Amino acid sequence: GQKLGYTFSRRNLHNVSLGQGQELVAEQALELAAQEGHWVILQNIHLVAKWLSSLEKKLEQHSEGSHRDFRVFVSAEPAPCPESHVIPQGILENSIKITSEPPTGMHANLHKALDNFSQDTLEMCSQEKEFRSILFALCYFHAVVAERRKFGPQGWNRSYPFSSGDLSISVSVLHNHLQASSKVPYDDLRYLVGEIMYGGHITDDWDRRLCRTYLEEFIKPEMLEGELCLAPGFPLPGSMDYNGYHQYIDDALPPESPHLYGLHPNAEIGFLTQRSEQLLRTVLELQPRDGSAGEGGVGTREEKVQALLEEMLEKLTDEFNMAELMAKVEERTPYAVVALQECERMNVLTAEIRRSLAELELGLKGELTMTSDMENLQNSLFLDTVPESWLKRSYPSTASLGSWFADLLARISELEAWTRDFSLPSTLWLGGFFNPQSILTAIMQTTARKNKWPLDKMTLQCEVTKRSREDFASAPREGAYIHGLFMEGARWDAQSGVIADARLKELTPAMPVVFVKAVPADHQDTRGLYPCPLYKTRQRGPTYVWTFNLKTKENPSKWVLAGVALLLQV
């Protein structure tokens, strides 16, 4: 305070943490501080959104006639989305704003993690060697899980608020366990850190597996024998003092790359590509929405939309005649039921597309008043994005409108071919289903009925063939052949029949045809297999479909850390 020209002491400071009815306390502190020239710190103002308009008025009142040393400091968490921006504009405009940005990159994150401790921390445990080694490994683990989210869904399915508090508590737990036991309780430490301290934030089972795998790789007996590498070219250091660890990070940590997180370099290419596409999409949305395309253009906005609209209506086929299809079905097998359900859902989607396009066409001709829904549809067609009303009745997709519509027509063609006689196609395009789980469940139901096995005791076994879709003329006797899968994070080596490291710049290589059949769960041997999650899109998370066990010669943990998954769309 004295450096700023103020006479300041703790008695002149009012610190109020908002939430749980502290608004009145904050108002009283502001009144007193304005008269006496005190400082007021209001923490977590994002928790009291309804009170912020009152705070804005109070600050406006105290801006004149108050003591010249009166100051107000407010803090808030960053808003996760635009709808959560609750701080009034008046407060923002009249404030000096300071943001605390998290460190970026492994180097800065690892230093930041170590900054939570001191030389005294390193000396406080009787088992000094074990404590220091595991503490450094925990710092690396914290830096990895915090920074891995920059790789998007391939990093974490969902974003989690890991904080330095999680690391500090984990180190306290480590200290208490080492003080109480002469042996290092590796299993207990991994469970407490991975399932409770950090795992308490995690809501996705595949993310929980990732967190658990990191700890299995970083905290194990080999770490005390000098045989553990936290990343390629970065061995766990021996016992050092506090400054020695900081110096070791500067000297030994390799340059920033996905390898430091267990990921393939392609993960960075994919992440940067998505960022670029998002930026270009935003630039496109900012361009003027009225007027002609300018010199050399191809017509006005309305003309472009009209041409696209007419083309789509022309290509869109008639809806499926459900009464005819049901009459054609001789036996309601699980496969036939899936086909009928898919046709019904396709009818709902195509009916909405046809209705909305016809409505917009009348609006553009001036025969109907343009509504907000019609304007939104027009904007989507112009910007090459899938309209919201279509997505609600559709399937998850990250494609642009042109690709999405071509994909839709291909799905209709597949359904038309299947419903001609309702015999199972030679190979199924799994990505072409609204509900891919339904056809996989139908495979199990069919096998269960045939062999009189209990459905709840069955599982799917998958075998990757060496052939492509064109090589199959008929469906198998049991199970089904599936095509249209892609792998992210690695590739399938068809010659060896195992998962292999991806080739650089091949982000999502196509898989050969996969043979899927149902077997009793207790008959499946899981040794040498990687449980690979299957998702509908690269967004992963809620688009999860199934788990396919794929053969691997490497330790499955390598593919867990690499974020290897199968995708139905790319």
What is the tens place of the pLDDT at every residue in 457-497?
Answer: 899 999 999 988 888 988 898 999 999 999 999 999 999 99
CA distance 175 to 123: 11
SS3 272: helix
Q: Count Cβ atoms below 10 Å from residue 335 Cβ, excluding itself.
A: 23
SS3 307: helix
CA distance 217 to 196: 18
- Is residue 180 exposed (0-12), middle (13-18) or buried (19+ Cβ within 10 Å)? exposed
Which CA distances in Å does 352 have to 21, 151, 178? 49, 36, 64
Residues of the chain with CATH 1.10.8.720: 106-265
State the fold for domain 425-569: Hypothetical upf0131 protein ytfp (3.10.490)
Question: pTM of the entire structure?
Answer: 0.82
Q: Which residues pair with 540 in a beta bridge?
A: none
CA distance 43 to 49: 13
Position of tokens 């630039």? 283
Residues of the chain with CATH 1.20.1270.280: 299-423
CA distance 91 to 60: 9
Residues of the chain with CATH 3.40.50.300: 2-94
| Residue-level pLDDT at 549 | 94
| Residue-level pLDDT at 161 | 86
State the fold for domain 299-423: Substrate Binding Domain Of Dnak; Chain:A; Domain 2 (1.20.1270)
394 closest CA partner among 534, 536, 570, 565:
536
316 closest CA partner among 412, 420, 431, 429:
412
> Where does 148-262 have alpha helices with state H?
164-180, 186-191, 205-218, 242-252
Provide the CA 260 distance to its chain's centre, in angstroms: 20
CATH number of this structure's domain 106-265: 1.10.8.720
Q: How many helices (H) and strands (E) does the chain have?
A: 19, 15
Provide the CA 523 distance to its chain's centre, in angstroms: 34
Q: Report the amino acid identity of residue 242.
A: Y
Asked whether 154 and 560 are in contact (CB, 8 A), the reply is: no
Phi, psi of 413 (to 5 degrees): -60, -40
407 closest CA partner among 358, 346, 321:
346
338 closest CA partner among 346, 239, 474, 426:
346
Look up the CATH architecture of domain 2-94. 3-Layer(aba) Sandwich (3.40)
| Residues of the chain scoring pLDDT < 50 | 1-8, 291-297
Asked whether 446 and 428 are in contact (CB, 8 A), the reply is: no
CA distance 165 to 171: 10
Residues of the chain with CATH 3.10.490.20: 425-569
DSSP calls for 64-114: SSS-TT-EEEE--PPPSSGGG--S-HHHHHTS-----PPP-SHHHHHHHHH
| Residue-level pLDDT at 10 | 57
